[in-house]
Structure formats: C-alpha cells, structure tokens
Amino acid sequence: MKLFSSVHDVADIKQLVSSALALKASPYAYGDLGKNKTLGLVFMNPSLRTRLSTQKAALNLGMNVMVMNMDKEGWALETQDGIVMNGTTVEHIREAAAVMGEYCDILGLRSFPKLQNRDEDYNEEFFNKFVKFCGVPVVSLESATRHPLQSLADLITITETNPVPIADRAKGIVPKVVLAWAPHIKPLPQAVPNSFAEWMSRAQQEGMLDFTIAQPAGFELAESFTPGAKISHNLDEAIANADYVYVKNWSSYKEYGQILPFPDGWMMDNEKLKLTNNAKVMHCLPVRRDLELASEILDGPNSLVIHEAGNRLWSAQAVLKAMLEEIK
C-alpha cells in the first residue's frame, strides 16, 4: 500500500481488519519491520487520538517518528501555483512536501476543510498536492473529506464486538449499524461521517453488516459516499433494533458548512437506547457531553467510545505494516 486516503485504497477490508486484530493480539510481532525507517506526522490541525495512536503504532513496528505541528511551528504554506508569493505565505507546498519526503520513508498528514468553498474542500487540493510532491507513501490522518484511520478502527470495533451468534452469521444474519446525526453548536466537517459511510457501505456490500444513516432533512451527505445505505429523516425509526448507533455531528453538505434548523430529539440518551437492540454506542471523540451524546450513555455499559479509541492504535499499525512491507 502506497497511499491510505480512503477505503478505495484497500483491496481487501476483511484482510486489513484481520491484520489489525492479529497485531492487537501480538503487538510486537513485527517489531523489526520498521527498523531504520522514519515516519513523519504533519498536523495542520489539533489532535489527541490520531497523534498518539499513530506514533505508538510506528514505535511498535520499530520505526522512528517525527511530529511537525505545521500550523503552529512551520512556515505559512502556499498551495496555489502561478502566483507571486508577496503575501503572508512563506513557503510553497511544492518545496515543503518534497523536503519532508527527503527525511521520511512514510508521511502522515492531517488537513481539515475550511468549510467555505465546497468544491475547494472536496477537491482535496492540499492533501493531493502533499501526496504528489512528497514522493513517499502517505497516510491520511484526516483530510477535508475523509478520516480513514478512524473508519478502519470503527470497523475493527464492530467486527470484534459483533453480537450476532456465530451460528446465525452462517445464515446471513448481520448486525444493524446506524450512523446517527447529532446536534452541535459549531459547523463540523463531513470527513468522519463521509468516511464512516464509505467504509460501512463497502462492509455492507461484503455481507458484514446492514447500514442505515439518519439525519434531519438538509443534512444529507454527498451520495458518492453512501452507496447502498438506507437513508432516514426519522431517528427513532432508524435506530429501531439497531445493534450499533454511531453518533456524529456534521454540517450541511447541500448548504455547505451551515448549521440548518433541525427538530428536537436528535441526541441519543437512555430513552432512545430502549428503541434499539441494546445497541452499543460509538463516537469518534472528542465529544461534547449532553449536547451531542448524553453522559448517561457515555458513562454507561453501552458505550464503546474508549474501546473504539483504543482500536485507533491497531488501525494505524495495520496500515503502517502494509506500507512498510511494500517499501522494504
């Protein structure tokens, strides 16, 4: 694997999940694979889980790791070509990415959307230019439109906690997974829900689960990320008999970056949990308690959020292992 930016970069998602679970069982089995290899992690935006889990994953594989907080410690980057750089930007991404590629065998990049111009964000100009000019394999640490390390960790979590008895799986019975929009006070990117939808749609195609998305009218995701997903505007109907509810806020794709008016009743709490099949509740974190998701769920037995965050390590380690095996 030379690029991990979406589910489309993965030939076999079941194999990648199996690889991650094997690494979870035996974290240091490939402790020499990354010897004398360097991972560079470049952050244009804040992070807790992605930063720490990806560093630890690389260390488990014997890699050296360097972290660059580009937004705070780097030169202001220019991405446009053909302009005279007589403004605030100091270094062009052409040189910056190429130089980082000189120091690193694999690079990771986090670059959020600006949420002002949909075409600009969905063209992934910054991420794609970084990939093009750095000249080494790249792992997305969350781009403008996707967060694939998170989505892989989510699929790992669902796979290892699948409540369907083994005998029933042979009959084609699969867990019901619902992506449920939640309220927020800020306009958030669509990267996590886009990516989750893309990975769950692929898992549904491969017979691993049944996938539904629930959001108020106006908050529909771009159709290209949701092939085969059932779409609902009624949270209570959507979560009926759900085995997993994946809670996440996102701003409008149609009215790009806006928080549209929405009806009451979109926050998951213990009353709503009664409608489900005793569902496990997931969230990528960070989460705003009692705005996006009720504390009684986060602190209760149905929450998978810490388990899910723990699996970010195995998600990153499986991807870095697949990349190291190709560049050895």
Contact call for residue 50 and ligand CP (CB under 6 A): yes
Give the residue, chosen from 16, 37, 42, 49, that forms a contact with ligand CP under the rule CB under 6 A: 49
Give the residue, chosen from 5, 6, 47, 315, that forms a contact with ligand CP under the rule CB under 6 A: 47
Interatomic CA distance for residues 23 and 19, integer angstroms: 6
Q: Are 273 and 279 in contact (CB under 8 A)?
A: yes
Contact call for residue 150 and ligand CP (CB under 6 A): yes
Interatomic CA distance for residues 281 and 304, integer angstroms: 6
The least distance separating ligand CP from the CB of residue 293, rounded to whole angstroms, comes to 14
Please name the amino acid found at residue 226. Answer: T
Nearer to ligand CP, 97 or 284 (CB): 284
Interatomic CA distance for residues 316 and 54, integer angstroms: 5
- The closest of 239, 259, 237 to 179, measured between CA atoms, is 239
Give the residue, chosen from 2, 3, 28, 48, that forms a contact with ligand CP under the rule CB under 6 A: 48
Binding mask 256-295 for ligand CP (x = CB under 6 A): ----------------------------xx----------
Interatomic CA distance for residues 193 and 62, integer angstroms: 32
The least distance separating ligand CP from the CB of residue 297, rounded to whole angstroms, comes to 18
Contact call for residue 202 and ligand CP (CB under 6 A): no
Contact call for residue 111 and ligand CP (CB under 6 A): no
State both tokens at 313: 């390590």
User: Can you point out the beta strands (E) in the chain?
Assistant: 3-4, 38-43, 64-69, 77-78, 91-92, 106-110, 138-140, 176-181, 210-214, 230-232, 244-248, 280-282
Selected range binding ligand CP among 16-24, 28-36, 48-56, 159-167, rule: CB under 6 A: 48-56
Nearer to ligand CP, 48 or 99 (CB): 48
The least distance separating ligand CP from the CB of residue 177, rounded to whole angstroms, comes to 18
State both tokens at 121: 């964000």
List interacting residues with ligand CP (CB under 6 A): 47-50, 142, 150, 284-285
